[in-house]
Structure 1
Amino acid sequence: MPSMTRIGNSDLDVLPLSLGGNVFGWTADRDASFAVLDAFAEGGGDFIDTADSYSAWVEGNSGGESETIIGEWLASRRPQGVVVATKVSQHPEFAGLSGANVRRAAEASLARLGVDAIDLYYAHFDDESVPLEETVAAFGGLVSDGLVRHVAVSNYTAERIREWIDIATRLGVALPVAVQPHYNLVHRNVVEETIIPVAEEFGLGLVPYYSLASGFLTGKYRTTDASGQSSPRAAGAAKYATDAGLRVIDALEEVGAAHGASIAATALAWLRAQPTVVAPIASASRADQVPDLLAGARLDLGADEVALLNRVSEWTPAAS
């Protein structure tokens, strides 16, 4: 059995891989989503990440589709010990982080998910139009009222995370336990210089998204030309296929080969080896992609292998 990981200062222990729900109701319909969730749970996965806005960007969708599918799966399968994280601020009907909106959005998410309490509730994007004190108090109220177990922040700067913690401490409400930044082998600098130090100082767990750089770190995009790709993610991945980016892929392939592991599993293992990282988020639109992701939760790289990947990926910000 792989070791479980504690999410920051919470009481949540999870397998160190979070299944991204952004594709449910988008590139994975209900049946495909159920198959992915089944494969994840059967493989020992127990941490699912979604947001109330997934996937409002798809024509014909209105937001909440991912939560609805996850809720139907939870009701149908009744898995034990699954931790569900969701987020507020981007749903078309529940935009922003005013106190009243946070409460209404949480109630809507609870209804879609069909759970008694949200295990981990993120402020999805900072909303500087609302006093941070109002948002922090609203999140604190959700915890004290039992609607949410733990609070967290996503896409916040280090300065604003620090401010949130100061306010929560002063108000005597629940402190955040996790932070969700964009972090991977080809997008390192900002997180390592600013977010990880704050996470270390306050005992926050990092739950990185875009762990596989929109699929680039699976190794299937080895050219900057996305024209032949049908995937909606291909263009996002292709921008990383610079000389520097492809050197990272080659190094991942070399390190992974020593373990009989894929490029994707090795990229996830590298993330897990970084300070404060709890569980990288990775999504799958087909059940056959899931074992590779779970392998990334079980692969432990040696210090020399981590150092090699650190070296080859250092200071290679992707071309904008």
Structure 2
Amino acid sequence: MEYRRLGRSGLKVSEFSFGSWVTFGKQVNGGDAVDLMKLAYDNGVNFFDNAEGYESGKSEIVMGEALNRLGWSRDSFVVSSKVFWGGQKPTQRGLSRKHVTDACHAALKRLQVDYLDLYFCHRPDIDTPIEETVRAMHDLVAQGKVLYWGTSEWSAQQLTEAYAVARDLRITPPTMEQPQYNIFERQKVESDYLPLYDLMGLGTTIWSPLASGVLTGKYNNGVPADSRMNLPGYEWLKEKWSSDAGRAQLKQVGELAKLADEIGLSITHLALLWCLANRNVSTVILGASRASQLQDNLAALSHRQKMTSDVLDRIDTIVGNKPEGPRRF
């Protein structure tokens, strides 16, 4: 395992991290959560990702109980939460000062920690002035309840505005963004955010590196009964990959699998190593409901030398979606 700085900050996070979306509090509980987190930690993972919106807080409760049972030294791991979807009442959602503060306190209790290493605005809130959110995040940093704050799925414009507000007020700017990034989803990380890596020193903690499992190849011949596409509440995912565009990408998965086989990789390892090849990626968040899945994902690191520039070019040729870089005139 190698470690990368979270953007321009001094914090070093493992290149593979472990997240709980879909799994903890739904497919994984109790001892299984302990086993998965221990497996990750023993293999060098030091960042564990969560959110108030994951299973309505149950995911954080499961992770907090696991952290308590594992008894790791608090200075040896990084844990996160995200704020936006905390409940149905008006004061339980969004990025108002009240909800940002209340959600932080609730996450600390559920995760059984004294502070959050990373705290994300889970989505932009068009009903709350960005200055209000930036000030609320800064205050939590000043109080020692949060070490670094960031965003998830914000536009480059929104990030730039938040950074400008913080700099103008001489308070803490966002450190990191958590965007979706995989072979099929590239625009934000490779194009939209490009100026921000230098301007802000932006770090990225990318999610869905396997495109919700599609880049494992397991959906090439239909939807397995035990897959997340068949879980209640994830009908949108099944609809996405059943669309014309989704079916076209599934055909590309077949071509990617052939390339992976040619160079001695599984398509899963190909997809994960492709994400790591981008040096603007601080960490790739893995998700797993079984130890065998997680162990296999982690094993990709032993094949990193196979992700050559030629292989990257061939992947670009297959998917044909590489964003255009800045133009020189």
Alignment partner, residue 38 of structure 2? 38
Larger helix share, 1 or 2: 2
Structure 2 counterpart of 1:284, which letter?
Answer: A
TM-fit CA distance, 1:195: 2.4
Cα–Cα, structure 1 residues 256 and 73, in superposed 2: closer, same or farther, change >3 Å? farther
**Which residue in the other structure is 1:229 paired with?**
225
Shift of 1:191: 3.7
The 1:262–1:165 alpha-carbon spacing in structure 2 relative to 1, beyond 3 Å, is: same
* Corresponding residue for residue 52 of structure 1: 52
Q: Indicate the percent of aligned positions where both proteins have the same amino acid.
A: 32
Report the equivalent of 1:124: 122
- In structure 2, what is the Cα distance between the partners aligned to 1:107 and 1:29? 23
Q: How far apart are the structure 1 equivalents of 2:318 and 2:210?
A: 16
Relative to the length of structure 1, the TM-score reads 0.88
2:93 matched residue in structure 1:
95
- Alignment partners' CA distance in 2, 1:14 and 1:231: 29
> Quick one: structure 1 residues 298 and 174, their matched pair in 2 at CA, closer, same or farther if it must change by over 3 Å?
farther
Q: Which residue of 1 aligns with 2:288?
A: 284
- Bigger mean CA offset, 294-303 vs 156-165: 294-303
Structure 1: 4+ residue segments shifted above 3 A: 237-241, 296-299
- How do 1:99-248 residues align onto structure 2 when only pairs under 5 Å count? 99-223=97-221, 225-226=222-223, 229-233=225-229, 236=237, 238-239=241-242, 242-248=247-253
Aligned length: 306
Distance 2:115 2:300 in 1: 29
Separation of aligned partners in 2, 1:249 and 1:205: 32
Q: CA deviation at 1:207?
A: 1.4
CA displacement 1:183-227 (0-9 Å, x = unmatched): 21112234422123323432111211121111001111104x43x
Deviations 1:246-303 (A, max 9, x none): 3344325533653x54221221110111241111222101111111221234542212
Q: CA shift at 1:104, angstroms?
A: 1.0
Residues 1:24 and 2:29 are matched in the alignment: no
In structure 1, the gaps of 5 or more residues are 56-62
Mapping 1:67-82, distance limit 5 Å: 67-80=60-73, 81-82=76-77
Equivalent position SS for 1:64: helix
Instruction: Deviation per CA, 1:96-125: give whole Å up to 9, x if none.
Output: 111121111101101111112100110001
1:162-198 CA-partner distances (Å, limit 9, x unpaired): 0010011112121211111122111223442212332
Corresponding position: 1:268 with 2:275 = no
Separation of aligned partners in 2, 1:164 and 1:263: 38
Residue number in structure 2 paired with 1:306: 312
Residue 228 of structure 2 aligns to a residue whose secondary structure is coil
Paired residues of 1:52 and 1:90 also in contact (CA < 8 A): yes
2:326 matched to which residue of 1?
Answer: none
Q: Structure 2: any 5+ residue segments left out of the alignment?
A: 324-329
Alpha-carbon distance in 1 for matches of 2:5, 2:65: 27
Matching residue's letter, 1:27: Q
Two-structure CA RMSD over aligned residues (Å): 2.2
Report the Cα offset of residue 232 of structure 1.
3.0
Contact conserved, 2:9 with 2:201, CA < 8 A, in 1?
no
1:85 aligns with 80
Q: Is the 8 A contact 1:215 1:233 kept in 2?
A: no
